[in-house]
Structure 1
């Protein structure tokens, strides 16, 4: 299956790639489908049903709002975050929605947007069904979509026996496993980032790739800067205080950032995830729930590593993308499917391998760093308190970012030889996710989500 680095790193909004970004894209796809099939003019009503994890934690993740915005034609990468709240308020107040921004239909979110908290669709925990009907109730169109993690969306027709039907783009050096990736590097003499760059050119030119990745880095930087400047209470009712900005202020007063390097890594990650929790602009990396880890480690590279430059940033993101592909291909990056090990765990692994590459590590050392990153996140549950991407998600990103830096440093002290391969660790993650009880997979029905409330 051909996956681009730009599939794994996309600009969107918080608080969740699978619960906000994906549903918005799916709803927009449905609205476009009504136009292309010539039934929009006859559409007099809409119904949206959310299943599985989307239904269980949709309110806390902003899924209903995302669906309404998508039906009105908005995309997560371009929607005006501030205006979006006003659009949702307008739809709720007037009980009227404009499909694709043009065709008005009655829409009462309380009646026409249904969250099934304990019903699931067959192919993935994040399922949604959208229906358009005429004034007399006749169904014009009915489509089911799955938000499969990281903002990826497929409709029911694109689901294969157990995974998504593959993109058939021909890559120069295709790989599906870590072992294949290392073999390709040995055969070609290319680094992991160099091999990934060759593959990316199946879609776009080298300069466009570089420019696109540096744009992704710019958005990441802007997100960190915003998170380090904003204070106050996060939305959602838990009254969680923003901590990145006041903590950064204290650290700056203590001087020399080298002495507090890991504290800065932690704060960079928390800054991003506080922005994500507020529904602001973030880069899905590879999910929103884990969006702070890669930017934090990249900041560490740019701030503190002598000789770091934009070329290193490009190599970093290409390598992270290659590792992310292995998780996407062979397991999952969806918290609703395998728990937070698939989100924070995969991001930690991606950041660790990418940092090792940026520091000049061999492909074997990079693979070792990535393996260390995921091995010590195995079994991590997804149990957001109140269905909000706040507790434990924000701190968890900070912890994983530090772990990624440590994993890279450990790997670079060796020669790349180690007992547990990245492939075996990813396989273990998938098996662990399958064994994990559903209440620990983004339903807010287990773990901290219930014990914190009971306290």
Structure 2
């Protein structure tokens, strides 16, 4: 794994909910497939296309909108730029008109119901999230590719090496917690400074800062939107959105015209532990209610766990008086922790259960918060370890395959655990800790391997089994 180079912008991706592995990943896979056809000058030769979904993509794909993501990706829509309010309209048109415009420029017949196939009882060996694209060309030939959505929006092609030889050497390559600690000690850099030095191999420092502030802007937009939008979440569970009602209650029904006014009201309308706790919960609920509504969020490191980091960072910005420099430090620190878990374990719930999503996001948030609160390198790493330690074994059992129950509330739990883990690390002595970050990464991966497949985003165990809902209702 020593050659894998992961940027903070690989960990934090802007996209459409509700799932990075089941929505954003398949969307990107469709784009990759069309790019290959285009490069071979085959795109306009395509006569028909079929998409086969395997494993977890089949079992929870309807609830996650995998079919919609594939159709939108094949149609040339970009998840970063698409008008999320129009997604339903685009899908209805594809279904009704029974055709696709590949990359928005080559029309082919397409039967939505029959050309996207859910293979509920078939899985491919490499990863549970697999999909196959198969096209028939004008000359009678057939061409196909298999892709795996491996978590966090990362996609690889079958037989493609996950790790490729780097074009350059990072000044501080980090694959493990030990690497991070060693480099920080040797260079006398903080975690965020070390990560910034690595990021500057890809782009100029000002571009890194601007990019991270844009990531934060999208996060705050999802928080604010979630605190304004009410109603019932889509999918058939009839889950009522709560963030807007909670925000209004905490602000004593005072209206906010924009995000800045809303922030000002939050600081004016209350104080104390319970008030702060309510807002952390509200921030997390808001983001993941937006995520469940096929709206724009930031993978952090996944869509299902997209609310944890925004909630903790928003908490810091409001209640600890943070600034833009704090945002950069927080996200750089959180990003490298996410990459360590991706390299040493997984950030895919289909591989590791919810410990791989909420657990990792909580660890990332804990480290980031500890950094901006003035913690040492050792304290940041201890905070990440504590947060993950208390998510070990957390299963992924979404009811109806929807990223709603228990997923939305789990983001509030992950956020609170991150804050608690940070406080424990800041008030303790890292040298007294018995468990290292690398210990908990390895343990998380071993736990993931031991976990029964029913508890890995299949909706075949846990709450999903106790409270069944027909996929046809979603």
State the TM-score, normalized to the length of structure 2. 0.93
State the match for 1:14 in structure 2.
17
State the match for 2:351 in structure 1.
337
Q: Alpha-carbon deviation of 1:137?
A: 5.4
1: CA distance, partners of 2:200 / 2:139: 51
2: CA distance, partners of 1:69 / 1:81: 11
Q: Secondary structure at the match of 2:123?
A: coil
| Structure 2 gap ranges (5+) | 254-268, 470-474
State the match for 1:443 in structure 2.
458
Q: Alpha-carbon deviation of 1:415?
A: 2.6
Q: Secondary structure at the match of 2:117?
A: strand
State the match for 1:88 in structure 2.
91
What pairs up with 1:412-423 in 2 under 5 angstroms? 412-417=426-431, 418-423=433-438
Retained in 2: the 8 A contact 1:54–1:125? yes
Q: Secondary structure at the match of 2:49?
A: strand
| Structure 1 gap ranges (5+) | none
Range with greater deviation from structure 2 (56-65 or 118-127) = 118-127
The one of 128, 141, 144 equivalent to 1:142 is: 144
State the match for 2:258 in structure 1.
none
Q: Secondary structure at the match of 1:154?
A: strand
1:426 is aligned to 2:441: yes
Q: Secondary structure at the match of 2:131?
A: strand
1:251/1:33 CA distance change after superposition, 3 Å: same
1:317 is aligned to 2:331: yes
2: CA distance, partners of 1:107 / 1:234: 29
1:383 is aligned to 2:397: yes
1:245 is aligned to 2:259: no
Retained in 2: the 8 A contact 1:3–1:167? no
The one of 283, 305, 311 equivalent to 1:296 is: 311
Alignment RMSD? 1.3
State the match for 2:409 in structure 1.
395
Range with greater deviation from structure 2 (217-226 or 163-172) = 163-172
Q: Alpha-carbon deviation of 1:136?
A: 7.7
State the match for 1:211 in structure 2.
210
2: CA distance, partners of 1:66 / 1:137: 28
Q: Alpha-carbon deviation of 1:34?
A: 1.2
Q: Alpha-carbon deviation of 1:170?
A: 1.6
Range with greater deviation from structure 2 (349-358 or 70-79) = 70-79
State the match for 1:201 in structure 2.
200
What pairs up with 1:257-296 in 2 under 5 angstroms? 257-259=271-273, 260-296=275-311
Q: Alpha-carbon deviation of 1:253?
A: 2.5
Range with greater deviation from structure 2 (216-225 or 251-260) = 251-260
Count the aligned residue pairs: 449
1:119 is aligned to 2:122: yes
2: CA distance, partners of 1:153 / 1:186: 34
Q: Alpha-carbon deviation of 1:249?
A: 1.4
1: CA distance, partners of 2:453 / 2:446: 14
Range with greater deviation from structure 2 (308-317 or 72-81) = 72-81
2: CA distance, partners of 1:169 / 1:157: 24
Retained in 2: the 8 A contact 1:46–1:107? yes
Task: Summarize deviations over 1:217-267 as a string: whole Å, max 9, x none.
Answer: 000001000000011000000000001110121122293144411111111
State the match for 1:355 in structure 2.
369
2: CA distance, partners of 1:18 / 1:448: 21
Q: Secondary structure at the match of 1:158?
A: coil
1:342/1:169 CA distance change after superposition, 3 Å: farther
1: CA distance, partners of 2:444 / 2:216: 28
Q: Alpha-carbon deviation of 1:453?
A: 2.2
1: CA distance, partners of 2:89 / 2:336: 39
